[in-house]
């Protein structure tokens, strides 16, 4: 890589400001992103919740971490969509023919994704509070929770970058997020894995959602997180590295 | 003898098995308007992409403002701007914000002032604070071209600047292009309309089958044809002339 452009941070600021404007001018996307996870949360707490044995007093407390991940899963579909629109509209070409630090074009979207998904997650947490969610976590634990969520968002965002840049249609750009939204169902997000048939259980316990959910759940309950947090971070970092490499490859071919 | 600000020699480019450019040569004089004429799919956009550092050629040399696209793409990006085939504007932002954004990305000292000036110059003060998504096609084209002028680049590339525009807006774009050239900017444009090349260009090159099959001034090109026969034909106004006459009366400023 050549020396970092001296305008990197200026350009970055402009790109970030641009896509943040998109977020604030279409706040409905925040609602759209949070509404499905909230609906699922309501459904599970008030319909199925009574019949689910989690060993915790309050099912919302158990459920919330998985719902947070689901929210991020549906939020990144918009990242892919916004990138797709930029590619199609030719605005990428305009930027690329200008004397700017090229990578900032992508990084602007990536940073925005972290902020906008953070806002969506906050909305979900507010609703959970209304539903009786309580946490004994302190500032340190909450910071750790948001740290994990940010790294998770970053990982999914780089996958979204690949999808958005490689897609041929706007629908195609967002389609990759469905399996990701579904992933928490086959994890310990909704119910403990003990009652699952062994094949499903092996999958559930060894996919990234479970350690992330467990780590967040223990942090929020002010319990020791053990090894889960490291497994969770390993997963996220591995996904970031692989997705970033592929995303850059696709980006350079544009 | 004026300096050649663009020098293209033997440029080749293939997409997979399809050879789009098979050795293209031409030169563009500083401050002139140069039209690359060709039908759809002739490779005009490919040529523009190579010159604007978006695409690498397979062979040949491309010198823009004394810089080689292969070796100094950064320096070239400082002195050019590209207006692509489709209006590349941020539709969620206002016209003014779009101009300010480009000014900031060109690292100008006073982006707001630059935006204001262009808004005045293009007579867009009314629309400037509306979102671009609400603009008409002609308005979008205008802001698109205005964005290309931010920072006064030496060379402006316009890829089919009037494709899909109504006749009135087309004339307006022509006026802008002529104005640019009068101010000393080099304009490189592609078009599939013979009339457009005839109206605007100092030099015309015809791209066909991956090569430049003819180039020169309009006069040069006319000489390639057998001398004109004199015939008397009653000239009917074209629909375009009728349209412009009526609309022009209505909106005479």
Tell me if residue B93 falls in helix, strand or coil: coil
Contact (Cβ atoms closer than 8 angstroms) between residue B40 and residue B193: no
Q: Is the pLDDT of residue A64 over 50?
A: yes
**The pLDDT value given to residue B249:** 67
Predicted-complex ipTM score: 0.85
List residues of B whose CB lies inside 8 A of any A CB: 49, 52-54, 74, 77-78, 80-93, 97, 101-102, 104-107, 131, 147, 157
Condensed to tens digits (0 to 9), the pLDDT of residues B162-204 reads 888 888 888 888 998 999 888 889 999 999 888 888 889 999 9
Which of B72, B91, B92 would best serve as a mutation to test chain A binding (most A beta carbons within 10 A)? B92
More confident residue, B240 or B135: B135
Q: Which domain holds residue B133?
A: 4-250
**The pLDDT value given to residue A233:** 93
How big, in percent rounded to 5, are the helix, strand and coil portions of chain A? 80, 0, 20
Average pLDDT, chain B: 88
How many structural domains comprise chain B? 1
**The pLDDT value given to residue B218:** 85
* Contact flag B92-A25 (C-beta cutoff 8 Å): yes
> Which residues 6+ apart lie within 8 Å of B227 measured at CB?
none
**The pLDDT value given to residue A3:** 44
The enclosing H or E element of B5 equals strand B4-15
For residue A93, the chain B residues in CB contact (below 8 A) are 49, 52, 54, 82, 84, 88
Q: Is the pLDDT of residue B129 over 60?
A: yes
Count helices and strands in chain B by DSSP H and E runs: 9, 10
State the smallest CA–CA distance between residue A102 and chain B in angstroms. Answer: 11
Q: Is the pLDDT of residue B123 over 70?
A: yes
pLDDT confidence bin for A1, thresholds 50/70/90: very low
Burial status of residue A253 (CB atoms within 10 A of its CB: 0-12, 13-18, 19 or more): exposed
CA dihedral B96, B99, B103, B105 (to 10 degrees): 110
Beta strands at B155-159 and B80-83: parallel, antiparallel or unpaired:
parallel
For residue B83, the chain A residues in CB contact (below 8 A) are 94
Condensed to tens digits (0 to 9), the pLDDT of residues A187-226 reads 999 988 888 999 999 999 999 999 999 999 999 998 888 8
Condensed to tens digits (0 to 9), the pLDDT of residues A112-123 reads 999 999 999 999
A vs B: CB pairs below 8 A: 64
Q: Exposure pattern of A123-162 as b/e (b: 16+ CB <10 Å)?
A: bbbebbeebebebebeeebeebbeebbbbbbbbbbbbbbb
Q: Is the pLDDT of residue B251 over 80?
A: no
Q: Is the pLDDT of residue A254 over 90?
A: no
**The pLDDT value given to residue A5:** 65
Average pLDDT, chain A: 90
> Which residues 6+ apart lie within 8 Å of B73 measured at CB?
B53
Give Rg (Cα) of chain B. Answer: 19
**The pLDDT value given to residue A141:** 94
Which of B88, B148, B157 would best serve as a mutation to test chain A binding (most A beta carbons within 10 A)? B88
Option in A11, A18, A94 nearest B82 (CB): A94
Alpha helices per DSSP H over B73-124: 73-79, 95-105, 111-121
Contact (Cβ atoms closer than 8 angstroms) between residue B174 and residue B108: no
Q: What residue spans define the domains of chain A? A: 8-253
Report how far residue A113's alpha carbon sits from residue A83's, in angstroms, rounded to the nearest whole number.
11
Query: Which CATH number characterizes residue B20's domain?
Result: 3.40.50.300
Contact (Cβ atoms closer than 8 angstroms) between residue B42 and residue B19: no
For residue A2, the chain B residues in CB contact (below 8 A) are none
More confident residue, A151 or A53: A151
Condensed to tens digits (0 to 9), the pLDDT of residues B42-80 reads 899 999 999 999 999 999 999 999 999 999 998 999 999
* Contact flag B105-A95 (C-beta cutoff 8 Å): yes
Report how far residue A135's alpha carbon sits from residue A221's, in angstroms, rounded to the nearest whole number.
6
**The pLDDT value given to residue B169:** 84
Tell me if residue A229 falls in helix, strand or coil: helix
Give Rg (Cα) of chain A. Answer: 19
Sign of the dihedral through C-alpha A216, A217, A221, A222: negative
**The pLDDT value given to residue A111:** 93
Contact (Cβ atoms closer than 8 angstroms) between residue B117 and residue B102: no
Percent of chain B clearing pLDDT 70 (strictly above): 96
Q: Terminus-to-terminus CA distance in chain B, angstroms? A: 41
Question: Which residue, among B27, B153, B171, has the nearest Cα to B161 in the 3D structure?
Answer: B171
Option in A11, A96, A99 nearest B78 (CB): A99
Q: Is the pLDDT of residue B94 over 70?
A: yes
Report how far residue B105's alpha carbon sits from residue B93's, in angstroms, rounded to the nearest whole number.
16
Condensed to tens digits (0 to 9), the pLDDT of residues B149-163 reads 999 999 999 999 888
Q: Is the pLDDT of residue B104 over 80?
A: yes
């Amino acid at each position: 890589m050549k020396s970092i452009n001296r305008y990197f941070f200026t350009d970055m600021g402009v790109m970030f400001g641009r896509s943040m404007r998109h977020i604030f001018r279409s706040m409905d996307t925040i609602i759209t992103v949070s509404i499905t996870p909230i609906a699922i949360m309501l459904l599970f707490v008030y319909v199925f919740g009574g019949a689910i044995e989690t060993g915790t007093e309050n099912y919302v407390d158990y459920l919330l971490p998985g719902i947070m991940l689901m929210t991020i899963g549906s939020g990144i579909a918009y990242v892919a969509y916004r990138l797709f629109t930029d590619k199609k509209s030719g605005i990428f070409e305009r930027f690329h023919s200008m004397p700017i630090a090229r990578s900032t074009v992508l990084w602007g979207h990536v940073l925005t994704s972290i902020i906008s998904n953070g806002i969506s997650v906050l909305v979900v947490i507010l609703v959970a509070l209304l539903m009786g969610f309580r946490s004994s976590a302190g500032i340190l634990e909450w910071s750790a929770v948001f740290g994990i969520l940010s790294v998770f968002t970053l990982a999914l965002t780089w996958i979204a970058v690949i999808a958005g840049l490689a897609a041929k249609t706007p629908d195609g750009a967002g389609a990759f997020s469905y399996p990701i939204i579904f992933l928490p169902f086959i994890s310990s997000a909704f119910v403990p894995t003990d009652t699952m048939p062994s094949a499903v259980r092996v999958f559930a316990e060894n996919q990234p959602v479970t350690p992330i959910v467990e780590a967040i759940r223990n942090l929020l309950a002010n319990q020791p997180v053990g090894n889960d947090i490291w497994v969770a971070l390993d997963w996220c970092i591995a996904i970031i590295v692989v997705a970033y490499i592929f995303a850059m490859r696709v980006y350079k071919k544009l | 003898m004026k300096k050649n600000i663009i020098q293209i020699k033997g440029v080749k480019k293939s997409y997979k098995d399809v050879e789009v450019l098979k050795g293209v040569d031409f030169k563009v004089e500083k401050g002139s308007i140069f039209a690359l004429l060709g039908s759809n799919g002739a490779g005009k956009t490919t040529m523009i992409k190579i010159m604007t550092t978006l695409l690498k050629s397979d062979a040949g040399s491309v010198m823009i403002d004394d810089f080689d696209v292969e070796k100094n793409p950064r320096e070239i990006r400082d002195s050019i701007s590209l207006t692509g085939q489709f209006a590349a504007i941020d539709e969620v932002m206002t016209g003014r914000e779009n101009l300010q954004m480009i000014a900031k990305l060109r690292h100008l000292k006073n982006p707001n002032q630059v935006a204001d000036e262009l808004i005045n110059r293009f007579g867009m003060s009314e629309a400037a604070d509306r979102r671009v998504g609400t603009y008409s096609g002609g308005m979008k084209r205008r802001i698109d071209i205005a964005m290309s002028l931010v920072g006064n680049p030496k060379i402006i590339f316009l890829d089919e600047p009037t494709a899909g525009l109504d006749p009135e807006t087309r004339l307006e774009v022509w006026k802008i292009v002529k104005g640019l050239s009068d101010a000393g900017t080099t304009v490189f444009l592609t078009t599939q309309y013979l009339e457009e090349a005839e109206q605007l260009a100092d030099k015309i090159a015809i791209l066909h089958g991956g090569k430049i099959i003819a180039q020169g001034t309009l006069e040069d090109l006319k000489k390639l044809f057998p001398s004109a026969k004199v015939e008397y034909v009653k000239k009917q106004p074209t629909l375009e002339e009728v349209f412009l006459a009526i609309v022009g009366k209505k909106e005479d400023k």
